[in-house]
Amino acid sequence: MRLFRTFEEVQAFEDANWPVRLAAESPIAASERWPIHCLVCERDVEAAVNIGALFGDAPNLREGIVCPVCGMGNRNRLMAQLVHDLAPIAQFRKVAVFEPRSVYTAMLEKAGYEVAHSAFLPGTNAAEHQDMTATTYRDGQFDLAVHNDVLEHIPDTRAALRDNHRILRPGGKLIFTCPIFAIRSTIVRARMGEDGQVEHILEPEIHGDPLAADGVLAFYNMGIDLLEAVREAGFADVGLAVWYDPALGFTTNNHPLKNAADGSAVGNMLPAVVVATKEPAGRWLNSLFAGSRRRGA
């Protein structure tokens, strides 16, 4: 695993890594099953490559490469491992997870984390309803906040990040995924007007959502400037954790589609997780930055 702070660092890794990805991922994408070592299960398994999510004709490797034992794909296994490594339960037991009960949250609970689930369920009386930009959680209530591919669907990214910061105790951690591209600046696909109506700027990009049959609109294709937004929300030690290792089932989501001039093509996503800490940051991540390596990197 490597942590990057800047666009230039990510771009250099992306360029250097590209031939490796092309060679490593073509045979995976062409296979039904692929042997990996699942770090969550700590065993060798035959992962299911294609779970039905596609980019063009090619399987979505970010959602796919599902371990038959824990049931988690590439993205969720990466999140699980980074939470395990960077937010150990002894110090980060109380966790806000911005998703309903899932295979992923069940894994956290089995490990002993105290999980507060939530979902955006406006207009309902559901106890779990939370607007991530203005939650009802108390200041400093949690040791850790986690979300998986939620942020790109929230019009006011910065309000969500500020509320993430508010609900964490000092020294608390934020660990999240969203589709993030090796581009400098975030692409705004849609805006929420003052009247609450969505204004489309680019063709609507709809992502699958377990809570919405028609899927959910992505307002953004995030660039590396997202890290700056996380810093501006008050966080320290903000970094993009990239852990590329096909043997562990951590791959790009689908390399054959790397073709857009602006680098935003859906196939062009590294296995990456945003990590940050609420001040006082201490020395939590300092040793991991600056191109340092950990196992599997």
Nearer to Zn ion (CB atom), residue 80 or residue 168: 80
Cβ-Cβ contacts under 8 Å for 82 (sequence gap 6 or more)? 1, 175, 241, 243, 273, 275
**Could you tell me which stretch among 37-45, 131-139, 242-250, 259-267 binds Zn ion (CB under 5 A)?**
37-45
Nearer to Zn ion (CB atom), residue 10 or residue 28: 28
**Could you tell me which stretch among 70-78, 201-209, 255-263, 264-272 binds Zn ion (CB under 5 A)?**
70-78
User: Does 67 help bind Zn ion (rule: CB under 5 A)?
Assistant: yes
Task: Report the nearest approach of Zn ion to the CB of residue 214 (Å).
Answer: 31
Q: Using CA atoms in the order 184, 275, 294, 107, what is the torsion angle rounded to 10 degrees?
A: -130
**Sole binder of Zn ion in the list 69, 188, 211, 247 (CB under 5 A):** 69
Q: Are 176 and 273 in contact (CB under 8 A)?
A: yes
Q: Where are the beta strands (DSSP E) in 141-197?
A: 142-148, 168-177, 187-188, 190-192
SS percent in the chain: helix, strand, coil, step 5: 25, 30, 45
Q: Are 34 and 65 in contact (CB under 8 A)?
A: yes
**Could you tell me which stretch among 19-27, 30-38, 87-95, 279-287 binds Zn ion (CB under 5 A)?**
30-38
Question: How do beta strands 33-38 and 43-48 pair?
Answer: antiparallel
Task: Report the nearest approach of Zn ion to the CB of residue 112 (Å).
Answer: 18
Task: Report the nearest approach of Zn ion to the CB of residue 39 (Å).
Answer: 8
CA distances from 248 to 41, 168, 272 (A): 11, 31, 14
**Sole binder of Zn ion in the list 38, 146, 241, 274 (CB under 5 A):** 38
In whole angstroms, give the CA distance from residue 190 to residue 242: 27
User: Does 248 help bind Zn ion (rule: CB under 5 A)?
Assistant: no
Nearer to Zn ion (CB atom), residue 41 or residue 192: 41
Of residues 140 through 159, those in contact with Zn ion by CB under 5 A are none
Q: Are 232 and 260 in contact (CB under 8 A)?
A: no
In whole angstroms, give the CA distance from residue 231 to residue 148: 19
User: Does 78 help bind Zn ion (rule: CB under 5 A)?
Assistant: no
**Sole binder of Zn ion in the list 3, 10, 36, 40 (CB under 5 A):** 40
User: Does 290 help bind Zn ion (rule: CB under 5 A)?
Assistant: no
User: Does 39 help bind Zn ion (rule: CB under 5 A)?
Assistant: no
Task: Report the nearest approach of Zn ion to the CB of residue 249 (Å).
Answer: 9
In whole angstroms, give the CA distance from residue 50 to residue 57: 11
Nearer to Zn ion (CB atom), residue 75 or residue 173: 75
Binding site for Zn ion (CB under 5 A): 38, 40-41, 67, 69-70
